[in-house]
Chains A and B, each alone.
Chain A
Amino acid sequence: MSKVEFNKETGPREVFCGLTSIVWLHRRMPDAFFLVVGSRTCAHLIQSAAGVMIFAEPRFGTAILEEKDLAGLADAHEELDRVVNDLIARRPEIKTLFLVGSCPSEVIKLDLATVAEKLNKRFLGQVRFVNYSGSGIETTFTQGEDGALKALIPLMESSNEEKLLLVGTLANNVEDRFKKIFKNLGISNIESFPPRQSTELPKIGKNTKVLLTQPYLSDTVRDLKHRGCEIISAPFPLGIEGSTEWFLAAAKAFKINELKVHEIISPLIDRAKLALESHKEILKGKRLFLLPESQLEISLARFLHNECEMDLIEVGTPYLNKDLMKEEINLLPDNTKIVEGQHVEKQLDRVRESNPDLVVCGMGLANPLEAEGISTKWSIEMVFSPIHGIDQAADLAGLFSKPLRRNQILTTKTLVTH
């Protein structure tokens, strides 16, 4: 392991909670519905995070707890029953309904597992109910996806068929690219989790080789291991380096000759390197500060340093699973400062002191930092944009070069006005 400096920090945070992941999960599985059992705040959060009303009728909603629901829990269960009935009558196309726990439902100990169990019996053959918690007292942002996927694992049938399972939500086009490349490598039995339809869950077993596409799936990985799956240890497929290592790790697990991998992906690498050049010109030597939000920060830091030659000031992450991140951390430059957790005020003090060229941060902080003259990139864009794979390396770099390019345009006096 390289000489990486680990720090932990506690204090006030500025991070989305796990409920927010509904916003991309509902797009991935159009036959699923996410029902948050929470407060008006939860409803308002998802609405605000979903770009403030971009969908006419979204596939997520909130069962808002009211005073009378808090008085007696038995009533809350009945009320939830009623809401679910209404919802299913209105949306008969729903195949899977996620009951999503929130901070208030966790605090009042609303037993969503029991509710889901009862509803499963009642709607047998029509709708499946699963429950997980996206509460902000337990999860941050992307951990919501971890919870949702973990909740689906018990529904996955067993199979001893040899297969490659890609785990973590990907953009459809990226997923298609990956599958094509794996087929060219000679791995033809590939499935994705989560699938594009919630009902088409892959079967898993001892010959399932799991390749993670996202770094925030600690609980899911643990449960997949329990089901006998083999977890392929690799960095994450962000950037040319990460993706190459990722393909190589998969190939090794399937006993495919390394030379074949290089033969197939080297044209892709050449092309990507070419595309990366113009972004690198802008990013090279620029100083980067990553605030914690998505858990993608370590992989992004690795890509932006190793391939775009940026200097890393601080790499924040809301949560660090050293085991899952082992391969990534090995690729980081010496003396990288990793900070797990957050004290947002102290962290912002460090941002100002270090005067970075670019800060990766959540949406609440972006404009205030811009107003101080610091360029920013929103973390949430990483989970919505197709950024994985060799073909996307330049697009990924583009997300970071764009704010810098923009500020260059806006601050350069190019027009002669006299």
Chain B
Amino acid sequence: MELTLWTYEGPPHVGAMRIASSMKDIHYVLHAPQGDTYADLLFTMIERRGQRPPVTYTTFQARDLGGDTAELVKKNIKEAVERFKPKTLLVGESCTAELIQDQPGALAKGMGFDMPIVNLELPAYSKKENWGASETFYQLTRTLLKEKVSSSEKISPLRWKELGRRPKVNILGPSLLGFRCRDDVIEIQRILSEQGIDTNVVAPLGASPDDIERLIDAEINICLYPEIAEASCEWLKRNFGMEYTNTIPIGIKNTIEFINEVHNKLNLPLTNKEELENKSKLPWYSKSVDSNYLTGKRVFIFGDGTHAIAAAKIAKEELGFEVVGLGTYSREMARQVRATAKDLNLEALITNNYLEVEDAMKKAAPELVLGTQMERHSAKRLGIPCSVISTPMHVQDVPARYSPQMGWEGANVIFDDWVHPLMMGLEEHLIDMFKHDFEFVDGHQSHLGHTATNTKDILNSDEKKENNPKEGIIWTESGRAELTKVPFFVRGKVKTNTEKYAILRGIPEINDETLYDAKAYFS
């Protein structure tokens, strides 16, 4: 039993709903009690979709349990097929139905329909949402393409040359409730098209079962979100020889690497190499003098595997931040995240307990958090600015404007989204220069609404927690007075550092001089 207050991922059948809802001409009959219909609001409220997810719930009740729930399943399947006339039917169960073992998929297959039926077995008590989405997409691909496996020759990435046409690729992995997927697809398609590469199919987002059957018309697959598409890409590689890409085009360097990888795989010469760096404003904005203030800013990163890894690279190499924490809730991607963390001399935090993340965040004392909605909450409580880079989805993460994370425009979005929660360089310089002016007394702060940043709060909050300050250390009048002169946005850090210094040196009382000694020591 695992105690959760908030959870990063839903159950696996919600993952299946993400695939079904992303696609056309598909219907999902879900053996589930009425309460499970809440999942509809993820799509209709959070993603503001104007359509209901294509899901029929069997809505079994306690009184049905004594009777024949299997009959109820069949009745619902029949009604759903008649009403929605899908080209492919998904059949599965939620956690409660799994316990009563009606095997709805097998029942559906015995009903004599002439459409492909995908029987989804998603173990609700051991797996989670992203796994469920991945498995559903994989089972669907497999079901719709398995008859073509034996008849088909292995697909060469160079086939486009023989056929005398532009190379074609599939973009796999984008789905509803994925972070900014809708816009990423547009951006990636645009980039590929500029390079003379056509998109054959985008799936699951916007695809129909017919499109899945057409996947093998492309030369290679772009595995855009490995959480969802890797299993399918691997199956397509094994059975049709289709190569797939590994680089996720988030950030300038990754985007360039991605373009190179695609070209290499297709044996397509890169014609406009030198232009690439100028496609996005990020490199110049990052180099511009105002961005000096970004240097060494301490940043804590937590999210899904794909976005967390990309964020670490961008933070360090493209914005000049120092990454002081990196983690993910995607256990499936733990290995890659650990490797990235190791490169940064960090130990990756792999957990789905948001309280552990909050603790790690507190310990790392970052100046910026890049996380999920939960880290946004924790950061708010700790008075640290935060930008959201990953699911789980919040209605705020589905903006009206075009705001991809991937490609050139994605890099622009990332620069703005990550940097704006911080005080801008000019602003920070001015505050530093004019910090003794009356306008910068406590209470006059930036628009960010920092909490617990004035001296009294900082000192008091510790006193409340620990009864006395750290290990009996006392702040004298002069020490406190000097601390108030430190700009509020670094005051917490200065305080911790000074206390650390005092403990190190066995100084029982911190006065103004101790503060400067500590400053010199740590600088």
Contact = CB atoms under 8 A, between A and B. Distances in A.
Contacts of B41: 48-49, 362-364
Contacts of A136: 33-36, 96
A140 B35 CA distance: 7
Nearest to A84: B3
A20 B5 CA distance: 14
B52 A364 contact: yes
A39 B11 contact: yes
A345 interface: yes
Given A61-B4, A83-B3, A368 B50 contact: yes
A253 to B, nearest CB: 36
Contacts of B126: 66-67
B50 A14 contact: no
B131 to A, nearest CB: 11
Contacts of B395: 52
Given A40-B128, A366-B45, A367-B49, A19 B4 contact: no
B394 A53 contact: yes
Contacts of B7: 40, 43-44, 47, 62
Interface in B482-514: none
Nearest to A371: B50
A12 B11 contact: no
Contacts of B2: 63-64, 66
B374 interface: yes
A43 B57 CA distance: 19
B269 to A, nearest CB: 47
Which of A67, A86, A138, A367 gathers most chain B CB within 10 Å? A367
B284 to A, nearest CB: 36
Interface residues of B, number: 62
B62 A138 contact: yes
A402 B378 CA distance: 35
A390 interface: no
A52 B34 contact: no
B11 A13 contact: no
Interface in A352-370: 362-368, 370
Nearest to A11: B59
Contacts of A60: 5
A69 interface: yes
B1 A79 contact: yes
Nearest to A318: B34
B38 A52 contact: no
A345 B50 contact: no
B79 interface: yes
Which of B37, B45, B50, B381 gathers most chain A CB within 10 Å? B37
Interface string A125-141: 00000000001111010
Given A14-B40, A40-B128, A135 B33 contact: yes
Given A40-B10, A367-B48, A45 B38 contact: yes
B492 to A, nearest CB: 18
A309 interface: no
A367 B95 CA distance: 27
Interface in B361-413: 373-374, 377-378, 380-381, 392-395
Interface stretch (A99-107, A220-228, A321-329): A99-107
Contacts of A103: 33, 35, 95-96
Interface string B25-51: 000000001111111111011101111
A365 B37 CA distance: 10
B3 A61 contact: yes
B44 A368 contact: yes
A371 B39 CA distance: 19
A45 B57 CA distance: 15
Given A40-B124, A67-B125, A365-B44, A76 B1 contact: yes
Given A103-B33, A104-B95, A52 B373 contact: yes
B44 A363 contact: yes
Contact of B59 (A13, A41, A56, A62): A13
B123 interface: yes
Contact of B40 (A56, A69, A364): A364
A169 B273 CA distance: 66
A47 B6 contact: yes
A400 interface: no
A138 B64 CA distance: 10
Contacts of B37: 13-16, 362, 364
Interface in A19-68: 19-20, 39-41, 43-45, 47-49, 52-53, 56-58, 60-67
A370 B50 contact: yes
A367 B50 contact: yes
Which of B6, B57, B124 gathers most chain A CB within 10 Å? B6
A367 B45 contact: yes
B10 A140 contact: no
A87 interface: yes
Given A63-B2, A106-B62, A345-B79, A15 B34 contact: yes
Contact of A39 (B5, B39, B76, B95): B95
Contacts of B378: 56
Interface string B42-81: 1011101111100011111110110000000000100100
Contacts of A364: 37-41, 44-45, 52
A108 interface: yes
B40 A39 contact: no
A12 B96 CA distance: 16
A82 interface: yes
Interface string B83-123: 10000000000111001100000000000000000000001
B14 interface: yes
A107 B40 contact: no
Contacts of B374: 53
A362 B14 CA distance: 19
Contacts of A79: 1
Contacts of B14: 41, 44
A42 to B, nearest CB: 8
A291 interface: no
Contacts of A107: 65, 96, 99-100
A274 interface: no
A368 B123 contact: no
Contact of A13 (B6, B34, B44): B34
A86 B126 CA distance: 22
A157 B414 CA distance: 60
A70 interface: yes
Given A66-B126, A367-B49, A368-B50, A17 B3 contact: no
B44 A53 contact: no
B44 A49 contact: no
Given A44-B11, A52-B46, A53-B374, A69 B1 contact: yes
A80 interface: yes
Interface string A147-170: 000000000000000000000000
30 contacts: A11-B59, A12-B57, A12-B59, A13-B34, A14-B37, A17-B33, A39-B95, A39-B125, A40-B7, A40-B9, A41-B94, A41-B95, A43-B4, A44-B9, A44-B10, A45-B39, A58-B6, A61-B4, A61-B5, A63-B2, A76-B1, A103-B35, A107-B96, A135-B35, A345-B83, A363-B40, A364-B44, A364-B52, A367-B49, A368-B51
Q: Which 9 A-B pairs have the closest CB atoms?
A: A136-B35, A17-B35, A371-B50, A364-B40, A39-B95, A79-B1, A103-B96, A44-B10, A136-B33
